[in-house]
Chain A
Amino acid sequence: MREMVKMIIVLTILSTFSGTLLAALHNKTKDRIEYQQLKFVKGPAIREILKGSSNDPIIDRFKIKDGDMEKSFFIGVFDGEANSVVFETFGTGFQGQIGLMVGVNIKDDKIVAVGVTTHSETPGVGSLAKTDPIFVSQFKGLPIDQVFKVKADGGQIDAMSGATLTSRGVTTAATDGSKMYKRLKLQITENLKSLNK
């Protein structure tokens, strides 16, 4: 009986101590880890879209609540004025989710550029969406306020050969981004205004 109590006490104390320690460490490093993730996972795509901006878009970011989700927006400053935002949307590709960074100029509501962040598409076929700039460059300069489709579905985007499903995934992600932008436009402009002051 005494032995059993001792076992329980030792295990409980050990677990409590370990849990507290880890929770404390997690709290301390949370922001830093978030920054690192943004920098190394999403950072390359964001910087590519906001090429030539005079700020670090990963530091200058804000969050807006969209339903239950909190969305991060990354700001691009051009000619001393914060006029572009980049945000991430998702679409279903050939295998799972495709993450797409969409950059929008809020002055004329046109797409600055888009870039694929995360995907699990076939290497060498669907993965070209991320590595080959020709496909995503088709989005450049298009008005954000529309439904994006591949040409086979009566849309405006040339699908990559052999990767129609991936191309469709990217266009649905872009369409989703368009809807979200419309929903949150007011709050986005508010946020940028306060930054420009």
Chain B
Amino acid sequence: MAKSISQEFVKGLWAEVPPFRLVLGLCPVLAVTKTVENGLGMGVATLFVLVCSNLLVSAMRNVIPSKVRIACFIIIIATFVTIVEILMQALYYPLYLALGIFTPLIVVNCIILGRAEAFAAKNGLIASFADGLGMGIGFTLSLGVLGAVREVLGSGTFWGTSIFGPSFQPFTFMIEAPGAFVALGLMLCVMNLVGQK
């Protein structure tokens, strides 16, 4: 393991940012980014699950028998997802209503299982924490940016407040499902252009 802790953290923010570089976990990325608020809410929920499951998987990596490791990972992940779901209901109910089925579906988000399997199961606690935090923040920011683009164009608002005034004709296409694909494609394009050197 030549990489330092800070490198593990930073790679999740740009070089391996989940939705745009690894193109993983697209289901929530496309479905919930109608508004910035929903996007960031989903991102933070995923961030929490990712960090906690990475930590626990890493802590238990020598105890878990390799034959049933996936089952163990899923139990760990599902527990944290349920915790997030309960907390969201208790503290932030409108977000729970807006995200709907996509909160429990964090269980099958491939970023989380992917990081548990590919990273946390082979690395120490601190490195796994840094990896989870970096990936999670990268994911949250991606969803926030995508949500911002779609909300500003699609409904002319940012975080629920109107920014263009009443004369603005919203580009409704952007908050529909096809708009999600178009916005994601454009973001990928921009990321590749900037990254190309």
Question: Is the C-beta of A26 less than 8 angstroms from some C-beta in chain B?
Answer: yes
The interface residues of chain A, by DSSP majority, are classed as helix
A6-50 with Cβ < 8 A to chain B: 6-7, 10-11, 14-15, 18, 21-22, 25-26, 29, 32-33, 36-37, 39-41
CB distance from A130 to the nearest CB of B (A): 15
A29 B65 Cβ-Cβ under 8 A = no
- Chain A contacts for B87, CB-based, 8 A: 29
Instruction: Convert A128-160 into 0s and 1s, putting 1 for each residue whose CB lies closer than 8 angstroms to a CB of B.
Output: 000000000000000000000000000000000
Determine the interface band of chain A, counting residues with CB < 8 A from chain B: 20 to 34
Question: Is the C-beta of B89 less than 8 angstroms from some C-beta in chain A?
Answer: yes
B169-191 with Cβ < 8 A to chain A: none
- Chain B contacts for A41, CB-based, 8 A: 97
User: Of the candidates B71, B78, B83, B94, which one forms a contact with A40 in the assembled complex, judged by CB atoms under 8 Å apart?
Assistant: B94
CB distance from A9 to the nearest CB of B (A): 9
CB distance from B168 to the nearest CB of A (A): 24
Besides the contacts A6-B65, A21-B83, what 19 more A-B pairs have beta carbons closer than 8 Å?
A: A10-B64, A10-B65, A11-B71, A14-B72, A14-B76, A18-B78, A18-B79, A22-B79, A22-B83, A22-B86, A29-B87, A29-B90, A32-B90, A33-B90, A36-B93, A40-B93, A40-B94, A40-B97, A41-B97
Which B residues fall within an 8 A CB radius of A? Answer: 63-65, 67-68, 71-72, 75-76, 78-79, 82-83, 86-87, 89-90, 93-94, 97
